[in-house]
Chains A and B, each alone.
Chain A
């Protein structure tokens, strides 16, 4: 096999040598034969001729020998490639522009595909991911996670799955690591002991966790991620056996996970994995015996050949056996266990980014289509020259099929160059783009060259080749006419009308699709602006947020209490600080406390689920919440004072109907309890809570002094945008050393971060829009340029007959303006039809936003006309004598 490849390569590149060898070989044969004939008994006069006769047809033998080398098809292909290269070199500007536009088009597709692949398509990097299933528990129509007791019993009683494991990063995701450096917050997942075994993951260094690590009371063990190993331990091999503390738990690092492993949740990379048995030591309450906390996510591995439905039925009967004493709802009917395909892991990231990325993929596809239309149009428009060349080649005996192949090879040259540059752009620019969009925090993906991306890019490149190459090839080959090309005026004859019309038609299409992309981009970025500029119900500008890590040790609780009572005063005293407050939770904070609230003396509907924010005095003023009636929280809302609460408008409506809320009493729980009643002393304007797009929720604010809670953050309002993070940090480190200090950022940043998927979509679509406009400009420029070139003779004659340059320019531009107009009309209609499909992405704008349409269309028309008028202006001023002399 290798030898054959070697032979063919030699045959291909040393063709001349082989031909000479063949010649020598056959010559030798003829000489020997002639020699033999001469010496034979019957002397012949023309021994050489006799030898040739015995040999047979010489040229045919040579040809057959060459064919026997097996490289004929390849040789003609290479000839096409060489010919194509020469052609492209002859028009370097066109070639470069074509490659660049294809590279950009292919590059964005590769980038978006890579993201989409990681977030949506790619299987988990574990052993046989297709066997993984995600278990869900349904009871009385409610689907939930699993409690620990239920999971353990199910794990021991089931036999239908090859393995079943649990994991959780709830209710606490970040644990404070101490040891081996400064205290820092580490993303931690609690996992059952068989986690790594069921996933089929072996440690890169040391060992993974096993079931022995997951027994209550054993010394804690932890596996760390490759990233964490590098970050905190500089990849030191001495990390094995190193003791660290996670909150209160002493653990020993037993191993490092392989670099590509991130767990079962795409997009997140935990720093540390610890056994579930450690839960009571790292979190405030013991969930291992809690029968009502469904905090576990459970996955399993199907046995080969067992269908999911059968496994699900078997697990459901196991669940019935276990009974409801281990699970939340006692009387809500039987439990069913559902199985969901787990090949791609848990879907959080997919839910958030799946649709936006699909939208971007569609837009990227449109951009590439536009680039292809553009190129096809230009190829057609300059087809005039090609038609002449093709006519000559036809006359010389080439088949039309061969001509089409030749042109496709040229297209393939362009697109492969574009594909290669495109991949390079994607690798260089893709990561930067994601970071720019600020998604890096949420999508932890690195764009690296891999087989899937390459395969996708190759497929896209091939598709693009045919998309832009086929029509011009077919039309030029069909339009070529040997008789005309060889005629007296072959060179100066105008291009066939069909080519011109084809080019114009493609330009109309290009403008239409471009307008769709532009409208989409305009709507998406207007939507982002609206999201940012909306009334959040708070005034984030000028507010600094200090996050404190959640820790529940007595020491940590004491430190937090000091922050609330004393340290906050020192922060208030810092120069430039207007007000400051401590709280647990709040708008856009990641942690929230939910509860049911009941109004006193209410009939039906007087209770509602609310988010409860525990806040110190000054919180309302600091965050910029607005008091509609009543008052904010004050210093007088002490422990001994009558308990009070503030409610938002929405909460008030839910609790009291339309009646005035001030002075009414509420209590937490399922029924009103007068002993724990709180008096509503203020009604606040509604504020967004979870994210900028969320509906308003019912919020209740209570004084921290009366309803104790850990301090999870400190809000500080300064006059103007001042960075006082250093001063705040200094105060905290001095007054409460050892407190788990988190990030210090501006409130605006906290909100902005929640907009990552919107920002990614808006940024990318703006990029697409710029690309599309550039392509349209280049396309119209080229179209008018080539049109002027093919109409040179006509224009020259008209100039000679007295037409002014302006007339000629206008004449060229009229047709172009018509093309733009028709394209805009078609595109406008298309946009109206298509933008309804992106309605779910929009905020504060409808799919039919006239401003977006008008601005998109006017940008396109303005830039298009400008681009077209440059060559039109030049053509109008060209010297008529020059043209006529050529006649």
Chain B
């Protein structure tokens, strides 16, 4: 039985992509796989919806494209974090942490 699938809140897909690319460049399919693995399949991300996000981020200069031979010997488009992308990652994950902390605080029942 697969775990229950979760809808991704607006705008978080970008954060997840940035995080995925933090240590090494990756191609679209790889990113999709990584997201699936790391969330233990809990996230409901249609594979196709990844690409418009990737292209938007490329336009904004967060990612830079890099065509190279992939692990299966084919030419694939890899995405790499740019300086701007790293900065964005820091800001967004910071904001996310603060947000979730605050939300968690509110949701935690008060202990008397």
A contact set with B: CB distance below 8 Å: 3-4, 7-8, 11, 21-22, 24-26, 28-29, 31-33, 35-36, 54-58, 60-61, 64-65, 67-70
In contact, A4 and B76 (Cβ under 8 angstroms): no
A70 CA to B55 CA in the complex, in Å?
Answer: 10
Q: If A28-B76, A32-B72 touch, does A68 touch B52 (CB 8 Å cutoff)?
A: yes
In contact, B59 and A33 (Cβ under 8 angstroms): no
In contact, A29 and B75 (Cβ under 8 angstroms): no
Against A, the Cβ 8 Å flags (1 = close, 0 = not) of B48-71 are 110111011011110000000010
In contact, B61 and A61 (Cβ under 8 angstroms): no
Nearest A residue to B70, CB-CB = A28
A4-B59, A28-B74, A65-B51 known; 13 other A-B pairs, CB under 8 Å? A4-B60, A25-B28, A25-B51, A28-B29, A29-B27, A54-B46, A55-B47, A56-B46, A61-B49, A64-B51, A68-B53, A68-B56, A69-B59
Q: If A4-B59, A7-B61 touch, does A25 touch B76 (CB 8 Å cutoff)?
A: yes
Q: Does B77 contact A (CB under 8 A)?
A: yes
Which residue of A7, A31, A58, A61 contacts B74 across the interface (Cβ within 8 Å)? A31
25 contacts between A and B (CB under 8 A): A7-B59, A21-B77, A22-B51, A22-B55, A24-B75, A25-B77, A28-B27, A28-B29, A28-B77, A29-B27, A29-B29, A29-B47, A31-B74, A35-B72, A36-B33, A54-B47, A58-B48, A61-B48, A61-B49, A61-B51, A67-B52, A68-B52, A68-B53, A68-B55, A68-B59
Distance between A645 CB and nearest chain B CB, rounded to angstroms: 90
- Residues in B with CB closer than 8 Å to A57 are 48
In contact, A70 and B59 (Cβ under 8 angstroms): yes
Distance between B21 CB and nearest chain A CB, rounded to angstroms: 16
A65 CA to B50 CA in the complex, in Å?
Answer: 10
- Residues in B with CB closer than 8 Å to A60 are 48
Nearest B residue to A4, CB-CB = B61
Most buried by A among B28, B51, B70, B84: B51
- Residues in A with CB closer than 8 Å to B27 are 25, 28-29
Distance between B61 CB and nearest chain A CB, rounded to angstroms: 4
Against A, the Cβ 8 Å flags (1 = close, 0 = not) of B97-108 are 000000000000
A35 CA to B27 CA in the complex, in Å?
Answer: 16
B contact set with A: CB distance below 8 Å: 27-29, 32-33, 46-49, 51-53, 55-56, 58-61, 70, 72, 74-77, 82, 84
A57 CA to B51 CA in the complex, in Å?
Answer: 12
- Residues in A with CB closer than 8 Å to B74 are 28, 31
Nearest B residue to A62, CB-CB = B51
Which residue of A11, A36, A56, A69 contacts B48 across the interface (Cβ within 8 Å)? A56
- Residues in B with CB closer than 8 Å to A24 are 75, 77
Distance between A18 CB and nearest chain B CB, rounded to angstroms: 9
- Residues in A with CB closer than 8 Å to B53 are 68
- Per DSSP, are chain B's interface residues mostly helix, strand or loop, or mixed? helix
- Residues in B with CB closer than 8 Å to A36 are 33
A9 CA to B75 CA in the complex, in Å?
Answer: 25
Distance between B83 CB and nearest chain A CB, rounded to angstroms: 10
Which residue of A3, A35, A56, A67 contacts B61 across the interface (Cβ within 8 Å)? A3
- Residues in B with CB closer than 8 Å to A26 are 28, 51
- Residues in B with CB closer than 8 Å to A25 are 27-28, 51, 76-77
Which residue of A4, A8, A33 contacts B47 across the interface (Cβ within 8 Å)? A33
Distance between B2 CB and nearest chain A CB, rounded to angstroms: 13
Q: If A29-B28, A33-B29, A56-B48 touch, does A65 touch B55 (CB 8 Å cutoff)?
A: yes
Distance between B76 CB and nearest chain A CB, rounded to angstroms: 5
Distance between B72 CB and nearest chain A CB, rounded to angstroms: 7
- Residues in A with CB closer than 8 Å to B77 are 21, 24-25, 28
A119 CA to B5 CA in the complex, in Å?
Answer: 75
A35 CA to B30 CA in the complex, in Å?
Answer: 13
Nearest A residue to B77, CB-CB = A25
Most buried by A among B32, B48, B59: B48
- Residues in B with CB closer than 8 Å to A67 are 52
Q: If A4-B60, A70-B59 touch, does A64 touch B28 (CB 8 Å cutoff)?
A: no
A55 CA to B51 CA in the complex, in Å?
Answer: 10
A65 CA to B33 CA in the complex, in Å?
Answer: 20
A58 CA to B49 CA in the complex, in Å?
Answer: 10
A24 CA to B82 CA in the complex, in Å?
Answer: 23
Nearest B residue to A35, CB-CB = B72
- Residues in B with CB closer than 8 Å to A68 are 52-53, 55-56, 59
Q: If A25-B77, A28-B74, A55-B47 touch, does A65 touch B28 (CB 8 Å cutoff)?
A: no
**Which 9 pairs of residues, A with B, have the shortest CB-CB distance?**
A56-B48, A64-B52, A68-B55, A61-B48, A68-B56, A3-B61, A56-B46, A32-B29, A29-B29
- Residues in B with CB closer than 8 Å to A70 are 59
A7 CA to B60 CA in the complex, in Å?
Answer: 9
Distance between A243 CB and nearest chain B CB, rounded to angstroms: 64
Distance between B18 CB and nearest chain A CB, rounded to angstroms: 16
- Residues in A with CB closer than 8 Å to B55 are 22, 65, 68-69
A266 CA to B58 CA in the complex, in Å?
Answer: 55
A767 CA to B75 CA in the complex, in Å?
Answer: 68
Nearest A residue to B47, CB-CB = A55
A54 CA to B29 CA in the complex, in Å?
Answer: 12
A56 CA to B48 CA in the complex, in Å?
Answer: 6
A686 CA to B53 CA in the complex, in Å?
Answer: 90
- Residues in B with CB closer than 8 Å to A35 are 72
- Residues in B with CB closer than 8 Å to A11 are 59
Nearest A residue to B71, CB-CB = A32
Most buried by B among A25, A33, A57, A64: A25
A432 CA to B46 CA in the complex, in Å?
Answer: 70
A28 CA to B28 CA in the complex, in Å?
Answer: 9
A57 CA to B75 CA in the complex, in Å?
Answer: 24
Nearest A residue to B74, CB-CB = A28
Nearest B residue to A8, CB-CB = B59
A22 CA to B48 CA in the complex, in Å?
Answer: 12
A22 CA to B59 CA in the complex, in Å?
Answer: 14
A60 CA to B84 CA in the complex, in Å?
Answer: 29
A58 CA to B33 CA in the complex, in Å?
Answer: 18
- Residues in B with CB closer than 8 Å to A54 are 46-47
A49 CA to B71 CA in the complex, in Å?
Answer: 23
Nearest B residue to A31, CB-CB = B74
Distance between A153 CB and nearest chain B CB, rounded to angstroms: 66
In contact, A61 and B29 (Cβ under 8 angstroms): no
Distance between B77 CB and nearest chain A CB, rounded to angstroms: 5
A69 CA to B56 CA in the complex, in Å?
Answer: 6
- Residues in B with CB closer than 8 Å to A64 are 51-52
Distance between B17 CB and nearest chain A CB, rounded to angstroms: 13
A28 CA to B26 CA in the complex, in Å?
Answer: 13
A7 CA to B59 CA in the complex, in Å?
Answer: 6
Distance between B104 CB and nearest chain A CB, rounded to angstroms: 32
A521 CA to B84 CA in the complex, in Å?
Answer: 64
A60 CA to B47 CA in the complex, in Å?
Answer: 13
Distance between B65 CB and nearest chain A CB, rounded to angstroms: 8
Nearest A residue to B28, CB-CB = A29
